[in-house]
Amino acid sequence: MTDVKAENRSITIRPSRKGTPGGTASAPAPGTTRATSRRTGKANPRGATPQAGLRADRGLMDRIRRIRPARMAVGAFVAIIVVVTGLLMAPWATASGRPANPIDALFTATSAVCVTGLTTVPTGEYWSTYGHVVILIGIKVGGMGIMTIGALFTLLIVRRLRLRQRLLAASETRTGLGEVGSLVRSVAVFSTVIELVIAATLVPRFWALGEPMGDALWHGLFYGIGAFNNAGFVPTGAGLRPFASDALVLLPIALGVFVGALGHPALLNIFQRPLQPRRWTLSTKLTVTTSLILLGLSAPAFAIGQWNDPATFGDMSGPATALNSLFAATMTRSGGFATVDMVGWHPATNVLTMVLMLIGGGPVSTAGGIKVTTFAVMLLAIRAEARGDRDIEVFRRAIPATVLRVAVTVTTAALAFILVATTMVATLSDAPLDQVAFEVISAFSTCGLTTGLTATLPGAGKLVLTVMMLLGRLGPITLASALALSNRRRVIRLPEERPIVG
């Protein structure tokens, strides 16, 4: 050890483990905090050993940065589900005062954090007010997304994003480096403001319909958070069925679901240039255009398919049928709310619902599915191939071939997961195959619409759907990158040869 004089005080410098020859301390790394004198608080020009607490904090941050971010997101997501499950297993979380079944608690926690809405027990009747609050917190945390929450925590700790994390966030959100900081800062405020606007719209209506002000406030807040986060939980036993003909209740919820399904990058882009759609990013243009096209085509299809069905739209007036058709078409985007019982739906309507659930919403949104941009890229690729075009072009932009490969990979992985899960649930249940497929797709797409089968499944079947909700929320690409040990790089490329396809 070497004694030196600094600020009229004798201090000791210990050589760094990776010090230079001769035992002299290495220079501090750029960006690190230099040691200061305890007496004056001024920077020490010669450098000194940081305090033990500071060394521990830096060591912890270094270890966190060395963890693969996608893998850390999976671990954090699972940890949140475990915490919510534990909170729901408390005796006071149920209306009966008895501890919940562990499988039901795990399923509900996963459904809340994954913003799905599928349930094995009636939410409004089984859980107490405390349980509803826990579920609502799980929805809020899950809706913001693990990647966004991780970035927000990083901002709170270091006040700015590291370059490596900004690059990751840029790749995950499909934004540039300059947009990532504003994205992660705006997510919490943006989502909360929209949720409060929806709640403020619903509260007066609930109160006017005869609910006490306390109940109206609670139901408005619950539906406001649930709508924007695309989580189909309802705080009452009847759900939205009593409001099937009330546009002042259904339209704000449908609008909240639609806006939440667009995704944070698209919302931020639209907010920055609301009157300049030509200057929107290609991702925003594809998200908005595809979403509107799907909504415009599916709403009339639902009305036609259920027009004469007395169990659904058959006994409604024309305006009420149009309202409920629009609401149903929006809920398939991953909303999960329902005004009618889906058990009696026409088989063709069920098929359309399953397709729309699988497509889902926009990227980096509260919606699930393979995402509308993935669906759009695949359709554009088919169009380009049919025309004989060399490039995939849309909105005066060419889409790289790597994007098509990602779209195909995501879709193939999703279909593989659904096929395996459907086979497993069909083996565990005697239900018809179409009902099984509907529940599995709803779970993977984190939609929450149900034919009533989920509540009747055995424990093993419920666990299969629990895993599907987690897989659907994390996404096949995120899950694959979390489990991958390393990236494969090839120096030598083999000669090309075209196989016969089709």
Give residue-wise pLDDT tens across range 64-122. Answer: 455 555 666 678 789 999 999 999 999 999 999 999 999 999 999 999 999 999 999 99
Q: Would you state the pLDDT for residue 409?
A: 87
Backbone angles phi, psi at 438, to 5 degrees: -60, -45
Q: What is the pLDDT of residues 255-269, one digit of tens each?
A: 999 999 998 778 888
Residue 2's H or E segment, with its range, is: strand 2-6
Q: What is the pLDDT of residues 221-248, one digit of tens each?
A: 999 999 999 999 999 988 999 999 999 9
d(CA 342, CA 452): 8
Q: Would you state the pLDDT for residue 346?
A: 87
DSSP three-state, residue 128: coil
d(CA 261, CA 227): 10
Lowest mean pLDDT among 162-171, 383-392, 475-484: 162-171
Which is more confident, 346 or 105? 105
- Residue 451, CB-side half-sphere exposure with 13 Å CA sphere: 24
Domains of the chain: which residue ranges?
2-50, 69-483
Angle (deg, nearest 10), helices 69-88 and 476-483: 110
CA angle at residue 21 from 15 to 27, to 5 degrees? 55
Q: Which of 98, 71, 76 is nearest to 150 (CA)?
A: 76
DSSP three-state, residue 470: helix
Name the percent of the chain lying above pLDDT 70: 74
What is the arithmetic mean of pLDDT over 355-366?
Answer: 90
Q: Would you state the pLDDT for residue 62?
A: 52
Q: Would you state the pLDDT for residue 147?
A: 54
CB 410 within 8 Å of CB 326: no
Q: Which residues contact 283 (CB under 8 A, 6 or more apart)?
A: 174, 265, 266, 363, 373
Q: What is the pLDDT of residues 144-181, one digit of tens each?
A: 775 565 444 444 444 444 555 554 445 444 444 444 55
Residue 367 clears pLDDT 50, i.e. is over it: yes
Q: Would you state the pLDDT for residue 475?
A: 72
Q: Which of 335, 185, 330 is nearest to 268 (CA)?
A: 185
Residue 25: pLDDT band by 50, 70, 90 thresholds? very low
Which is more confident, 274 or 288? 288
d(CA 56, CA 145): 28
pLDDT, averaged across the chain: 80
* pTM value surpassing 0.85: no
Query: Highest-confidence range of 15-24, 55-64, 204-213, by mean pLDDT?
Result: 204-213
**What does the DSSP 8-state code read for residue 4?**
E
DSSP three-state, residue 5: strand
Residue 321's H or E segment, with its range, is: helix 318-331
